Structure 1
Amino acid sequence: MSVSVNQPLDLIIQNGMVVLADQVCRADIGIQDGKIAVICKKIEVPERTPVYNAENLHIFPGVVDAHVHFNEPALGHWEGFASGSASLAAGGCTTYIDMPLNGVPPTVRLSALQRKLEAAAGESHVDYALWGGLVPGNVKELQPLAEAGVIGFKAFMSCPGGEGEDIFAEVDDLTLYEGMKEIARLDKVLALHAESEAIVSQLGKQAQAAGKRSAQDFVATRPVLAELEAVNRALFYAEQTGCKLHFVHISSADAVQAITEAKAKGMDVTVETCPHYLALTANDLARIGPVAKCAPPLRSAEEQERLWAKVADGAIDIIASDHSPCPTALKQGNIFEAWGGISGAQSSLELMLEEGWRRRRIPLPQLARMLSLEPAKRFGLYPRKGEIAIGADADLALVDLTLTYTLAAEDLLYRHKHSPYVGKTFSCRVQAAFLRGAKVYELGEGVKGRAEGVWLRHQAAAYAEAAAAKVIANEGTE
């Protein structure tokens, strides 16, 4: 039975299998002014209303990738907003949150945020938010960054690498504690790379001094113990300060369990893992080489299955790519010296459908929750983002769950076309992506039109701006 709508519609997406928060059903989606206006079994198409036929396609909420590194400003030749956001669109991602560390300067003060915004303006094909950074010496910079609209703050408990004066350094314990107190006062979230620097740095030095160079040698220098120690230390500080925490790229079931126990005590903490920990193992690192190097490193097949069990149980809140690209030359040679970061953002949705839904029968709404709904909720983007619902932005990923293809380097839209997934065969493929009701990508045609992604300032910043405008207006009438 069709439903006649009384309002004008800009677009109707027909006949798709729609992945809602609690079910998958065949439905039409009516879009008006960039928002989802109607969801029903069948919309009676008004005259001259454009229609997109999604027959044989599943319609997912656009992925919200809370963890990418696009390296602007100054290191855009590593990736940049234009190529990075294009690759996300091709992977069904319509919103991302860019990390603060790899640009020059890193986003640890207001002036650096302004430079990043200048670099992003007119370049992003999908919508975006930005992280600020917590580093030694910048605790007083956190409030201006928060007021300007950063989504939260990121800190490293192990050395992220880099040289020069203006680098993103890891936090010492006092900085971590004082930073947490300030972030709690600002009612923001602290995202943490949780590995013990004391453990991984010493193990790394010992391995290289002994002439060890293999992939398994590298993995051994960054054990689960280092992750677990850092997680527990951060949880202790968070308990003392009341700071909201988000643990990024957790690679072990034991660390997930520690976080789950903290939640049970009433702590405000979430956990993220990445597709590479769920799709690749340490044996793949040995086979592929530095292109699959990351930190924490890929784990054993046994550890991977334990992590999948946590996914199935609902213990993982968010799946994010941790897309960390670099020039191909930096992904060669000694595994210890090669750049540590995986280029994978374009493949996140397809990987989770392949490994999670098809191989392990994780329900589609559960995968959509981790990829879209929970990151949108955690970082203040919901209900605008994260879900196919009336009133939400019409951000949609259309996927053919029956189309088999083998990923080739030329399929990648990254600036540097390397990825550990090149050569992998998928039994699904993103067909199209819509951002606020406008098609931004179609398979066979590529990314569409101008880059019209917008900056999603944190809601609190919008409130502050409105309050400031009201004060100015009142002053003008006195």
Structure 2
Amino acid sequence: MVDLVLRSRRAVTARGERPAAVAVDSGKIVAVGAYDEAMPAADEIDLGDTALLPGLVDTHVHVNEPGRTEWEGFATATRAAAAGGVTTIIDMPLNSLPPTINTEALTIKQNAADGQIHVDVGFWGGAVPGNAGELPGLHAAGVFGFKAFLADSGVPEFPPVSPAELATALTAVDAQFVVHAEDPDHLHAAASSPAYADFLASRPADAEHAAVATAIEAARRAGGRVHILHLSAAGALPLIAAARAEGVRVTAETCPHYLTLDAARIPDGATEFKCCPPIRDAANAGQLWRALADGLITCVVSDHSPCTPELKRRDTGDFAAAWGGIASVQLGLPVIWTAARNRGHGLADVVDWMGRRPADLVGLHGKGRIAVGADADLVAFDPDEEFVVDPHRLHHRNPVTPYAGMVLRGVVRTTWLRGRTVTGDAPHGGFLTRED
């Protein structure tokens, strides 16, 4: 007898979407059988036509605790993640104080998170000027790799690296490097303005193209692994394709806001839409969708990067002064499902982009899939129900999101973490470390 059996006529397994029964015991999936297969269990739930998905994996989340917990914290970020069907997050090394650039800072962050997390949490380390000697120790401590900026990060304690410093970091440790790819020489100071077009002009696509080329060259010379974060400019895709064809270990991700939002429709003063790199036009988004379908873009992650409402400067609507970041960890699944469905994609595609592929990127092969031996991280998801986004009903700390008022399709009914229901009351998430 197993602990739990979940049945669904729309289970998304390694064989695609199909009727199935999933047996869970001691936090693991121990069998995946036919929908009506007899499986003695202590508890059984028949979801009927409600879909059963694997828990999603978001490898790009800024939690900000400790130090800027008024922006976001582990309790609120992980509660929001679970409510959005995300059962694993990898926390970015910056915006917290101290940033995760040495083992002492990693311990401080883990201590801050301990006892608060509603989903499983891993950590990225940071590569900044002068800390190449710290990277092997951080890697040995279990971080999933290292984030580097090629342009100003927005916070002084996490400065950007030069191309030479990125190359040095890549040779210091055999690890996954994830790169914010904007070239500072192609960026322009944004003038104080409520016009989104003025902000967009200050961060042209050429800045991404140049920085992607820099990251690829560093990976080529070092033989290292480079992942391009939050790709916005589709014009950089041929560079990535050519590099991969010659054997350079480079991958790329994008985010829901780059796939679904249109620069031409962003109202003046709507600073909740500000992020870096910026949201571009609908034609650009169409190219990103094609690259995602073709596998050139590896995965879709949130880049959840919230702040306080005051820092978004809705009082003035000044894009130059506002903090750049989109709060969306709870909404990524319905945002992408709504758009993907309209483009002819199925739930299996969405799960692949937001579950299996990001899990594989960081080596968590027991996450992001319904398969025997995987963690029993599961989501009951109604793919047909619509809802209107109300920021005050979201679980992240501050009620700011560019999706406010939008009608989305797809509602998370229940989330299970290693076979236990995530209620949002009693945290039972765990820390994850890199699996060699």
* Aligned with 2:123 (options 112, 130, 147): 130
Higher mean displacement: 323-332 or 253-262? 253-262
One-letter identity of the residue aligned with 1:414: H
Runs of 4+ in 1 over 4 A off after TM superposition: none
Cα deviation code 1:149-184 (max 9, x no counterpart): 100000001101124xxx00011222111111113x
Q: CA deviation at 1:432?
A: 1.2
In the TM superposition, 1:171-250 aligns within 5 A as: 171-183=161-173, 187-200=174-187, 203-204=188-189, 207-208=190-191, 213-250=194-231
Does 2:63 correspond to 1:73?
no
Residue from 60, 76, 88 that aligns with 1:83: 76
Of 174-183 and 134-143, the range deviating more from structure 2: 174-183
1:405-459 deviations in Å (ceiling 9; x for gaps): 1111222001101111111111221111111011114xxxxx2x41111111112
Alignment of 1:83-102 (within 5 A): 83-102=76-95
AA aligned to 1:80 is G
- Contact (CA 8 Å) 1:346, 1:412: kept in 2 or not? yes
**Partner Cα separation in structure 2 for residue 218 and residue 253 of structure 1:** 19
1:118 matched to 2:111: yes
Partner of 2:27: 34
CA distance in 2 between counterparts of 1:287 and 1:423 reads 17
Measure the CA separation in 2 of the matches of 1:259 and 1:363.
26
Find out whether 1:456 has 2:420 as its counterpart: no
- Cα deviation, 1:451-473, whole Å, max 9, x if unaligned, reads 1111111124xxxxxxxxxxxxx
Query: Who is 1:419 aligned against?
Result: 401
TM-score, normalised to structure 2, is 0.96
Amino acid at match of 2:418: R
- Tell me the residue number matched to 1:61: 54
Q: Which residue of 1 aligns with 2:384?
A: 402
Confirm or deny: 8 A CA contact 1:408 1:423 kept in the other structure. yes
Find the aligned partners of 1:391 and 1:16 in 2 and give their Cα distance.
22
* Cα deviation 1:224-272 (Å, max 9, x = unaligned): 1100000011101110001101111001222122112211111111110
Q: Give the secondary-structure state (helix, strand or coil) at the position aligned to 2:218.
A: helix
- Taking every aligned residue pair, what percent have the same amino acid on both sides? 38
**Residues 179/212 of structure 1: CA separation in 2 closer, same or farther (3 Å cut):** same
Deviation digits for residues 280-324 of structure 1, max 9, x if unmatched?
Answer: 121343357111100000001111112122122222111100000
Point out where structure 1 has 5 or more consecutive residues left out of the alignment.
Answer: 1-7, 442-446, 461-478
Residue from 139, 143, 167 that aligns with 2:136: 143
Distance 1:38 1:237, change over 3 A: same
Contact 1:96 1:127 in 2 (8 A): yes
CA distance in 1, matches of 2:229, 2:414: 28
In 2: Cα distance, 1:373 partner to 1:312 partner: 14
Q: Report if aligned partners of 2:128, 2:159 keep a CA contact under 8 Å in 1.
A: yes
**What whole-Å deviation, never above 9, does each CA across 1:308-358 have from its counterpart, x for those lacking one?**
2212222211110000010011112311110000001100111111001x2
Secondary structure class of the residue paired with 2:339 = helix
Deviation at 1:397, TM superposition (A): 1.6
- Structure 1-normalised TM-score? 0.88
Superposition pairs for residues 220-369 of structure 1, below 5 Å?
220-286=201-267, 289-332=270-313, 333=316, 334-356=318-340, 358-369=341-352
Higher helix fraction (1 or 2): 1
Q: Which moved more, 1:340-349 or 1:252-261?
A: 252-261
Q: Distance in 1 between matches of 2:15 and 2:42?
A: 29
CA contact (8 A) 2:193 2:320 kept: no
Q: Residue 6 of structure 2 corresponds to which residue in structure 1?
A: 13
Matching residue's letter, 2:197: Q
Taking the aligned partners of 1:261 and 1:284, their CA distance within structure 2 comes to 33
Gap runs ≥5 in structure 2: none
Task: Name the CA distance, whole Å, in 1 between partners of 2:59 and 2:420.
Answer: 22
Q: Which string of whole-angstrom CA distances, capped at 9 and with x for unpartnered residues, describes residues 365-416 of structure 1?
A: 222111011111111111x112110010011121101211111122200110
Query: Secondary structure in 2 aligned to 1:27?
Result: strand
Deviation at 1:45, TM superposition (A): 4.6
Letter of the 2:74 partner, please give it: F
Which residue does the alignment assign to 2:412? Answer: 430
Separation of aligned partners in 1, 2:434 and 2:290: 33
Q: SS at the partner of 2:2?
A: coil
Query: How many residues of Structure 1 are paired with residues of Structure 2 in the alignment?
Result: 432
C-alpha separation in 1, matches of 2:79 and 2:247: 39
Looking at structure 2, the residues matched to 19 and 432 of structure 1 have their Cα atoms a distance apart, in angstroms, of 15
C-alpha contact (below 8 Å) 1:216/1:286 kept by paired residues: no
Give the aligned residue type for 1:401. P
Question: SS of the residue aligned with 1:234?
Answer: helix
Question: More deviation in 16-25 or 282-291?
Answer: 282-291
Tell me if structure 2 keeps the 8 A contact 1:284–1:292: no
Is the Cα contact below 8 Å between 2:4 and 2:24 reproduced in 1? yes
**Matches of 1:331 and 1:311 in 2, distance apart?**
30
| 1:366–1:15 CA distance, 2 compared to 1 (3 A) | closer
